[in-house]
């Protein structure tokens, strides 16, 4: 009998104790009403006959949806949607009172309404371009306004539109447009390179011209005479027979072919 009493007390104690794990909050519900403070990590003692402990996660959750969104031109764009959200632990009682434990269905309904209003202002191609971030931000802002009317305590973190599927004809049109833009950018790059190359050649030609001008301006009679003397010295070192015609200032070298032509002209005379 003693052991049965101990066993009964142990079972009663275990059934009247709730453990709150990290990432959770708990609150007592006595006779249908929420009472007491919000309990974070630890244990809560309660009377299992009249009360129970409701536990909810405060970690970030992801609601995944696959929807067909309307566009400004009346087309339907299929997309995978992720709604990131979390509960604010200190306001869990408000969420459970107003929305119940199935509060995620309310978030989904609010999203459908907000997404329809926002996406109807954008073209289908905008959902596939850089404007997608603007669409996501507008949907999130509208959801926050609508959800605050329902209850406080749900924090909306982000709305993400993934795997956008445009109508087949529009998708082909967008791909052709993107290809045309890439071709235009490539041609612009080629033209820029050609222009830079032409400018380089002009600069190079101007440099050579200026160099020739400087050299020609620097060729005085004294420099020419010095160069002539150096040329005579180099010729004197050669063992080959040469005819040099000079006025004493500059040499003129006559090669063998010129010698033969000169000899023929003398004979003809």
Segments making up each domain of the chain, as ranges: 2-57, 61-171, 223-268
- Contact between 251 and 234 under an 8 Å Cβ cutoff? The reply is no
CATH superfamily of domain region 61-171: Band 7 domain (3.30.479.30)
Q: What is the pLDDT along the chain (269 residues), one digit of tens a residue?
A: 555 555 544 544 455 677 888 888 888 888 878 776 788 877 777 777 777 888 888 899 999 999 888 888 788 888 889 999 999 888 888 888 888 888 899 999 999 999 989 988 888 878 877 788 899 999 999 999 988 888 788 999 999 988 887 766 655 565 566 567 677 788 888 888 888 888 888 888 888 887 777 766 666 666 666 777 777 677 667 666 666 665 555 554 444 454 444 444 444 54
């Amino acid at each position: 009998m003693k052991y049965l009493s101990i066993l009964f007390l142990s079972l009663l104690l275990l059934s009247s104790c709730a453990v709150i794990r990290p990432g959770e909050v708990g609150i007592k519900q006595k006779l249908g009403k929420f009472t007491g403070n919000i309990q974070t990590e630890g244990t809560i003692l309660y009377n299992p006959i009249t009360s129970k402990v409701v536990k909810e996660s405060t970690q970030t959750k992801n609601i995944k949806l696959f929807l067909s969104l309307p566009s400004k031109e009346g087309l339907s764009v299929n997309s995978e949607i992720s709604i990131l959200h979390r509960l604010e632990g200190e306001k869990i009682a408000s969420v459970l009172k107003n929305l119940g434990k199935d509060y995620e269905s309310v978030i989904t309904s609010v999203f459908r309404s907000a997404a329809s209003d926002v996406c109807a202002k954008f073209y289908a191609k905008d959902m596939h371009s850089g404007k997608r971030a603007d669409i996501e931000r507008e949907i999130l802002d509208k959801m926050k306004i609508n959800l605050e009317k329902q209850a406080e305590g749900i924090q909306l973190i982000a709305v993400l539109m993934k795997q956008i599927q445009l109508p087949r004809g529009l998708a082909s049109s967008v791909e052709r447009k993107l290809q045309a833009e890439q071709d235009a950018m490539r041609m612009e790059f080629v033209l820029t390179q050609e222009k830079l190359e032409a400018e380089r050649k002009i600069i190079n030609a101007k440099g050579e011209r200026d160099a020739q001008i400087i050299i020609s301006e620097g060729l005085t009679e004294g420099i020419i005479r010095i160069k002539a003397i150096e040329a005579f010295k180099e010729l004197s070192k050669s063992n080959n027979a040469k005819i040099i015609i000079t006025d004493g200032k500059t040499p003129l070298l006559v090669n063998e072919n010129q010698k033969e032509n000169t000899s023929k002209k003398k004979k003809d005379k």
